[in-house]
Amino acid sequence: MVSTKSLVAATANGTRTSSLSSSDSVLNLSLGDPMMFEPFWKKMSNKYNVTIGGGDLMSYFSDSNNVCWFLEPELGTAIKRLHGVVGNAVTDDRYIVVGTGSSQLFQALLYAFTTPSGPEPVSVVSSAPYYSAYAEVVGFLRSELYKWEGDACKFNKKGAYIEVVNSPNNPDGTLREAVVMNRTGNGNGKLIYDFAYYWPQFTAITGAADYDNMLFTISKCTGHAGSRIGWALVKDKDIAKKMTEYITISSIGVSKESQFRATKIIEVVCNGIQNVGSDKSENLFEYARNILSKRWQKLRETIQNGEYLILSEYPQEHCLFSGKPTETLSAYAWLESKDDTKDCNEFLRGLKIIGKGGKICGTHHKFARINLMCREKEFNQFIERLSATRGKGIISGH
């Protein structure tokens, strides 16, 4: 799910992370554009090319007998295979709802949970630091169905609420659970589990997630953000129907061309993992994890040699996918100013680096998020600019 305000701002300013040419360029690492995957897929082009004829995929309908009537059956099968291979989510007894990215599915779930409407808008919360797009999406239409109430750890109202649980969390990479029920005893909540980053390149797969409403996106799984494909695994048929109703009204389904491409991409990923006509070098998750491991090591070394920033470390857990102790390698660096009075994002701007400030994520301005899924050239420039601030820093653990 991409922050709409950040995306619009980057477009308006003509700032693209792919157009850097010198040390004088502004380095925009505020968006979660997953371009680190690009070299892998360029190498694999001959295995995932798709051809769509002029007379193909013309109908609105994919499967009129399915609750989500615009879901291409082949994509549904591919999604189940992917989760089975990775082991990160239960798909049995679940309805698959496809959406134009997880952003649309998030909105569809909000609609499903709040219709018919009650006397007051339903509160929507998430533990801070939270993904900034949640607040943007909830507040954008000024709906009478729901309203943004901020940090779940500070929410004390009675009555209905919706809690969004993002794990691993964007922006700080921590593993999350729902908090409102345990903290307040309020049992009137609905839960949305956003598992955009619950893939082996980012974190240990500790079990198959088994919740009523789970969101996934191909953007962070394979890097194909431009295809705009996400899916929800939904236990309740009525919720799946309402989500389908929302998507029908808002976009009359989801692009079949994108679904067709996503199906082929997922097939290539699964074949690479299972060594179906491929070798070990074609395992996407190992490829991406190797990149992130090197980047995190380099970033830690750079922060340790600086005097301005703090970088968190993450615990190791046993990963059922790899069979090894595995450390979280977050898609983002959640940087913290050593001096609590300093604005971390402003410090970065002084180095001509654009991050996402902590305040927009519901926390202190001493924090800032940096995208580590960028192209290699951009990451190297990021490290070079941080290295220019010499001195001694510290590493903090959770």
Give the integer Cα–Cα distance in Å for 201 and 79: 18
Q: How far is CA 48 from the centre of its chain?
A: 23
CB 40 within 8 A of CB 375: no
386 three-state secondary structure = helix
- The pLDDT of 147-153, averaged and rounded, is 98
pLDDT, tens digit, 9 for 90 and up, residues 279-302: 556 899 999 999 999 999 999 999
Q: What are residue 379's phi and psi, to 5 degrees?
A: -60, -45
Task: Quote the tokens at residue 36.
Answer: 């680190």
pLDDT, tens digit, 9 for 90 and up, residues 172-220: 999 999 999 999 999 999 999 999 999 999 999 999 999 999 999 999 9
Of the spans 7-21, 250-264, 302-316, which averages the highest pLDDT? 250-264
Residue 344, classified by CB atoms within 10 Å of its CB into exposed (0-12), middle (13-18) or buried (19+), is buried
164 three-state secondary structure = strand
Angle at which helices 256-273 and 284-304 cross, to 10°: 80
Single-letter code of the amino acid located at 157: K
Sequence-distant (≥ 6) Cβ neighbours of residue 92 within 8 angstroms: none
pLDDT-above-90 percentage for the chain:
85
Predicted local distance difference test score (pLDDT) of residue 42 = 94
- The pLDDT of 149-166, averaged and rounded, is 97
- For CA atoms 47, 49, 53, 59, give the dihedral sign: positive
Predicted local distance difference test score (pLDDT) of residue 48 = 77
* Top-confidence residue, 68 or 6: 68
124 three-state secondary structure = strand
Residue with tokens 């959770």: 398
CB 352 within 8 A of CB 26: yes
Task: Quote the tokens at residue 125.
Answer: 């919360």
257 three-state secondary structure = helix
Q: How confident is the model at residue 33 (pLDDT cuts 50, 70, 90)?
A: very high
Nearest Cα to 201, choosing from 162, 164, 168? Answer: 168
**pLDDT value at 268 more than 80:** yes
Q: How confident is the model at residue 349 (pLDDT cuts 50, 70, 90)?
A: very high
Predicted local distance difference test score (pLDDT) of residue 305 = 84
* Top-confidence residue, 133 or 7: 133
Segment among 23-27, 49-53, 389-393 with least mean pLDDT: 389-393
Single-letter code of the amino acid located at 213: N
Neighbour-count burial for 58-84, b at 16+ CB within 10 Å, e otherwise:
eeeebeeebbbebbbebbbebbbbbbe
Task: Quote the tokens at residue 4.
Answer: 């709409």
Predicted local distance difference test score (pLDDT) of residue 219 = 98
**pLDDT value at 312 more than 90:** no
Q: List the strands of the sheet with 332-337, edge to edge.
A: 356-357, 367-371, 332-337, 309-313, 394-397
Mean pLDDT score across all residues of the chain: 92
pLDDT, tens digit, 9 for 90 and up, residues 42-62: 998 887 788 899 999 999 999
Task: Quote the tokens at residue 398.
Answer: 């959770």
Predicted local distance difference test score (pLDDT) of residue 393 = 41
The reported pTM is: 0.92
pLDDT-above-70 percentage for the chain:
91
CB 127 within 8 A of CB 151: yes
**pLDDT value at 396 more than 70:** no
Segment among 9-18, 22-31, 131-140, 380-389 with least mean pLDDT: 9-18
Predicted local distance difference test score (pLDDT) of residue 3 = 60
Nearest Cα to 342, choosing from 310, 386, 383, 303? Answer: 310
Predicted local distance difference test score (pLDDT) of residue 7 = 55
> Which alpha helices (H) appear in the chain, and where do they start and end?
4-12, 38-43, 45-48, 73-86, 101-114, 132-140, 180-184, 218-222, 237-251, 256-273, 284-304, 344-349, 376-387
Predicted local distance difference test score (pLDDT) of residue 390 = 62
Sequence-distant (≥ 6) Cβ neighbours of residue 124 within 8 angstroms: 110, 134, 138, 146, 147, 148, 149, 161, 162, 163, 164
Nearest Cα to 193, choosing from 215, 209, 217, 220? Answer: 215
- The pLDDT of 164-179, averaged and rounded, is 98
**pLDDT value at 10 more than 80:** no
- The pLDDT of 255-281, averaged and rounded, is 88
Nearest Cα to 367, choosing from 343, 347, 385? Answer: 343
**pLDDT value at 11 more than 70:** no
**pLDDT value at 4 more than 70:** no
Task: Quote the tokens at residue 154.
Answer: 């500070």
Segment among 24-33, 261-270, 382-391 with least mean pLDDT: 382-391
Predicted local distance difference test score (pLDDT) of residue 279 = 57
Give the integer Cα–Cα distance in Å for 262 and 283: 17
- The pLDDT of 60-76, averaged and rounded, is 98
- The pLDDT of 2-24, averaged and rounded, is 52
